[in-house]
Amino acid sequence: MTAPALAPTSDLRAPTADRGRKGHKPGQKPFGPMAVLSVVILVVLAVLWLLPFLWSLATSFKSETDAAATPQTWIPAGGFTLDAYRGVLEQGNIPVWLFNSLFTSIVITLIVVATSALVAYAFSRLDFRGKKWLYVATIASIIIPPQVLIVPLFYQMLAFDMVDTYWGIILPQAIAPAMVFVLKKFFDQVPIELEDAARVDGAGRIRVFFTILLPLSRPILGAVSIFVFIGAWNNFLWPFIVTNDASLLTLPVGLQTIESAYGIQYAQNMAAAVLAALPLILVFLFFQRQIIKGISTTGFGGQ
């Protein structure tokens, strides 16, 4: 399930808008029987949601013998060990895949944010011939599932000699019409008077864009960047199609190959999965507020 999704823009207000309402309502009694029941249900569900993580984590610290023993237990007979992690890291591919994912995702994010912000500004503020057509085409293309383009895109990559290259991974992912829409909506709500003042003082369009509009748009640009990054980082189908060379695989695609490469090694599989999960979890812990706010204000996600 990967495609930028389009959702409510109602909360997407200009920088003057109020922000940051806290999660609970005043004036409700915290401890009725209903409240107790809801806490119990919530705790059960939260545990249910965390268990797959914990089980996988536990397995990754088992020896291969213990990971294949029946019946499985939380605490292995032979005690916990780091062998699986050692084994995975010795194969040497994970750091390479990590770099590939990081590099391609960052470049994709930079291209998408830069080109989308520029065109969104043109849609919002400038009057040029063909603008209406370009805008309609851009909005209409949001409905196109990237998955239906895999065959012609691969054909194109063959023609451009981009199969098994970084550019082959990056370029087809470097357009996000939905993000153009989000940014255009945001620019529309920035008061034009702010720009007019600067333009009276003789600043050109480009200067106004960089010195006035972009600084005002930092939160929305942050949200868009995070989503494009998460989407690119987790994208599976396209990198899976366009790369074959083990040294060019991204992390999600690389992981898919380890099962066949390592044979059935439960502990190592889990160790690799845990290692692959860590970077984005760290990103989330650092940017938790921006990510949650980004989802609630723009409703855009990577998957």
- CA angle, 193 then 135 then 297, to 5°: 60
| 233 is an interface residue for other proteins by CB under 8 A | yes
Least distance in Å: CB of 296 to other proteins?
3
Q: Which of 19, 205, 207, 218: binder of other proteins (CB under 8 A)?
A: 205
Least distance in Å: CB of 301 to other proteins?
5
Which amino acid is residue 225, in one-letter code?
A: S
Least distance in Å: CB of 189 to other proteins?
17
Measure the CA–CA gap between 240 and 249, rounded to whole angstroms. Answer: 8
| 280 is an interface residue for other proteins by CB under 8 A | yes
Please, are residues 133 and 114 in contact by the beta-carbon 8 Å criterion?
Answer: no
Q: φ and ψ at 92, to 5 degrees? A: 80, -5
Q: Find the binding residues for other proteins in span 116-135 (CB under 8 A).
A: 116, 118-119, 121-123, 126-131, 134
Residue span 50-69 as binding mask against other proteins, x where in contact by CB under 8 A, dash where not: xxxx-xx--x-------xx-
Measure the CA–CA gap between 201 and 216, rounded to whole angstroms. Answer: 19
Which amino acid is residue 63, in one-letter code?
A: S
Of 10 and 245, CB closest to other proteins: 10
Q: Which of 17, 46, 136, 197: binder of other proteins (CB under 8 A)?
A: 46
Of 219 and 252, CB closest to other proteins: 252
Measure the CA–CA gap between 251 and 237, rounded to whole angstroms. Answer: 12
Measure the CA–CA gap between 51 and 79, rounded to whole angstroms. Answer: 20
Q: Kindly determine how many residues on this chain lie close enough to bind other proteins according to the rule CB under 8 A.
A: 113
Q: Which of 115, 165, 189, 290: binder of other proteins (CB under 8 A)?
A: 115
Which amino acid is residue 118, in one-letter code?
A: L
Which amino acid is residue 41, in one-letter code?
A: I
Three-state DSSP class for residue 236: coil
| 38 is an interface residue for other proteins by CB under 8 A | yes
Q: Which of 18, 90, 92, 145: binder of other proteins (CB under 8 A)?
A: 145
Which of these ranges, 75-83, 184-192, 210-218, 235-243, lies near other proteins under the rule CB under 8 A?
235-243
Residue span 65-104 as binding mask against other proteins, x where in contact by CB under 8 A, dash where not: --xx-xxx--------------------------------
- Alpha-helix residue ranges (DSSP H) falling in the chain: 33-60, 64-67, 83-91, 93-125, 131-140, 150-160, 166-170, 177-189, 192-200, 205-208, 214-216, 218-234, 237-242, 251-262, 266-298
Nearest-CA neighbor of 219 among 39, 30, 13? 13
| 219 is an interface residue for other proteins by CB under 8 A | no
| 17 is an interface residue for other proteins by CB under 8 A | no
Q: Find the binding residues for other proteins in span 153-182 (CB under 8 A).
A: 153-156, 171-172, 174-175, 177, 180
- CA angle, 278 then 283 then 286, to 5°: 125
Measure the CA–CA gap between 94 and 98, rounded to whole angstroms. Answer: 6
Least distance in Å: CB of 208 to other proteins?
11
